[in-house]
Amino acid sequence: MVVVLYSVLKFEKVGKMDLQREELVINPEVEQKEETTMKGYWNIALFGVDSTTGALTKNTRSDTIMIASINQDTGDCKVVSVYRDTYLNLSNDSYNKCNSAYAKGGPKQAINMLNMNLDMNIEDFVTVGFAGLADTIDALGGIMIDIDSVELKHINNYQICMAEDLKRSYTPVTSTGYQLLDGLQATAYCRIRYGGGDDFKRTERQREVLLAIADKAKTASPATLNEIANAIFDKDEIYTSLDVSEILELLGGIAKYQVVAQGGFPEETRRTTGTIGEKGSCVVPLSLSDNVQWLHEFLFEDEEYSPSETVLQISDKVKSDTSGYVK
């Protein structure tokens, strides 16, 4: 009990953003789905920002964008990476790479972007920077990851850059194979985007690390979880909409949660890439509405989902803006 109470005190130091539902964009048709196919799901946005200075609130692009959808009855969790370079509506009728929404308006605009384009009802988020991720992994005692020869060529270069920015030492990864990575090594692994697969492969690595953290946390003692609180919450390395009771609910139920499926958005067979004028190289959904249908079938097993009017309009606009640049 002492450990739990101490953890609560630590959690009260978390960077907290109060988000009210009325402040958020939720497409009208989605509100109806909340009483049917989306009922009983807790959808949370997970943002990893490209910051080594604790700049978690805005003015930094979200290097990682994920949606975790938890079935609160079964504990089943599905995780989807939204590719950061996806050409979408930023929720203010301007179109660009979706990760710029966080830079312009912080988590609120990033959530609105996800809700508007994907017909979601996200009301909660968790944001971490490089230091927060590294410290969490270190507090868990590291995670097991399989490093291949291509990844070995790049992982230490990312470590060097982060170690310099964070003013930390680092331990080089010297061999391939399944091995224990410390926090900085695992964070560097998340950032690799060279050697084939580009950002698509990078998001696979990010999800792999997230799942490894979740698996390790399931067997962690209360003392270890408290150490995580010490490691990141005292240093303002996390920013979230969750209050203390919600964080404790997540930690208390972690043994019940099981990641049963993961994927990327836009879906592999429903996307292309192209250089969209001054916007640069973007991931382009061949049809946003088709991708949203796929997403709702994937997350909520809704095989008959009909995208909202908002999504249909955005889908037409994305196609119009990009048709001259992609095949």
CB 204 within 8 A of CB 151: no
Structure tokens at 123: 């009301």
User: Residue 61 has what pLDDT?
Assistant: 75
List of long-range contacts for 88-91, beta carbons under 8 Å, 24+ apart: 88/113, 88/117, 88/288, 88/314, 88/318, 89/113, 89/116, 89/117, 89/314, 89/317, 89/318, 91/25, 91/115, 91/116, 91/117
Distance CA 100, CA 94 (A): 11
Which regions of the chain are under pLDDT 70?
1-14, 51-55, 58-59, 196-197, 227, 229-236, 244-245, 248, 251-252
Comparing CA positions, the residue from 105, 117, 107, 89 lying closest to residue 27 is 117
The tens digit of pLDDT for each residue in 105-143 reads 999 999 999 999 999 999 999 998 888 889 889 989 999
The model's pTM? 0.91
Distance CA 273, CA 46 (A): 24
User: Residue 234 has what pLDDT?
Assistant: 58
Comparing CA positions, the residue from 96, 114, 154 lying closest to residue 281 is 96
The tens digit of pLDDT for each residue in 268-291 reads 999 999 999 999 999 999 999 999
First-to-final CA distance of the chain: 60
293 membership: H or E segment, kind and range? helix 288-300
Q: Which residues contact 236 (CB under 8 A, 6 or more apart)?
A: 13, 15, 54, 56
User: Residue 9 has what pLDDT?
Assistant: 41
Domains in the chain: ranges and CATH: 2-130+216-269 (3.30.420.590)
Distance CA 151, CA 265 (A): 23
Q: Which residues contact 164 (CB under 8 A, 6 or more apart)?
A: none
User: Residue 59 has what pLDDT?
Assistant: 67
